[in-house]
């Protein structure tokens, strides 16, 4: 197993669940208050805890980050993401993607960041302000309904991120 020299911990792929929460023609985004991707808008979600199912994690994460309870969480697919910096993989995620509907609408922001509803067209106008992988998840999987499995490579240049690959696995 490859080790991280910095703290002698094994380099692991982190399982994450994200929610494309739709209310009419709007989608909920969260402006990240922490690194990585601090200051960028993202889909609500987060790490799946040890022993937790992805569908449980998404409900927990959305509730923690926004106070919204979900009435439905439809599994859309998975994105295998790697983040590269100076031609080396610095992070790796398995992202379970859900298309969701809110049961409640008592939206609050949390320590994770500001929560806000965006119109579909507004999402495209703010594409540069959204985590690149999340933008493509929104565009392809949530709004276009094209579920399945994707491979994604993101290159980090300073504090900017650029997608170098987003390919549906057939």
pLDDT in tens for each of the 170 residues of the chain? 455 555 555 689 999 999 999 999 999 999 999 888 899 999 999 999 999 999 999 999 999 999 999 999 999 999 999 999 999 999 999 999 999 999 987 888 788 889 999 999 999 999 999 999 999 999 999 999 999 999 999 999 988 899 999 999 98
Q: Concatenated DSSP letters for the chain? A: --EETTTTEEP-PEEEEEEEEEETTEEEEEEE-SSSSTTSEE-SEEEPPTT--HHHHHHHHHHHHH-PPEEEEEEEEEEEEEEEETTEEEEEEEEEEEEEEES------BTTEEEEEEEHHHHHHTGGGB-HHHHHIIIIIIIS---EEEEEEEEEETTEEEEEEEEEE-
Give the pLDDT score at 1: 46
Residue 114 lies in a domain: yes
Give the pLDDT score at 9: 56
Q: What is the number of domains present in the chain?
A: 1
Residue 17 lies in a domain: yes
Residue 7 lies in a domain: no
State how far the Cα of 138 lies from the Cα of 150, in Å rounded to an integer.
13
Residue 133 lies in a domain: yes
Structure tokens at 108: 């609050």
Give the pLDDT score at 62: 96
Residue 1 lies in a domain: no
Residue 6 lies in a domain: no
The β-bridge relationship of strands 88-102 and 14-23 is parallel
Residue 146's domain spans which residues? 12-169
Which CATH number do you get for residue 99? 3.90.79.10
φ, ψ (nearest 5 deg) of residue 141:
-90, -40
Residue 65 lies in a domain: yes
Give the pLDDT score at 8: 57
Instruction: List pLDDT tens digits, range 124-170.
Output: 999 999 999 999 999 999 999 999 999 999 999 988 899 999 999 98
Give the pLDDT score at 46: 95
Give the pLDDT score at 37: 87
Give the pLDDT score at 5: 54
Give the pLDDT score at 6: 56
């Amino acid at each position: 197993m490859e080790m991280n020299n910095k703290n002698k911990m094994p380099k692991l792929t982190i399982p994450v669940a994200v929610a494309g929460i739709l209310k009419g023609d709007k989608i909920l985004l969260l402006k990240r208050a922490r690194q990585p991707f601090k200051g960028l808008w993202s889909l609500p979600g987060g790490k799946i805890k040890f022993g937790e199912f992805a569908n449980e994690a998404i409900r927990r994460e959305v509730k923690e980050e926004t106070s919204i309870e979900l009435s439905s969480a439809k599994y859309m697919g998975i994105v295998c993401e790697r983040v590269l910096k100076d031609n080396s993989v610095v992070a790796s995620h398995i992202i379970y993607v859900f298309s969701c509907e809110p049961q409640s609408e008592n939206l609050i922001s949390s320590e994770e960041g500001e929560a806000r509803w965006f119109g579909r067209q507004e999402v495209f106008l703010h594409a540069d302000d959204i985590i690149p992988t999340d933008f493509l998840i929104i565009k392809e999987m949530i709004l276009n309904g094209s579920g399945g499995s994707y491979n994604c490579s993101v290159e980090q240049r300073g504090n900017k991120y650029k997608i170098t690959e987003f390919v549906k696995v057939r």
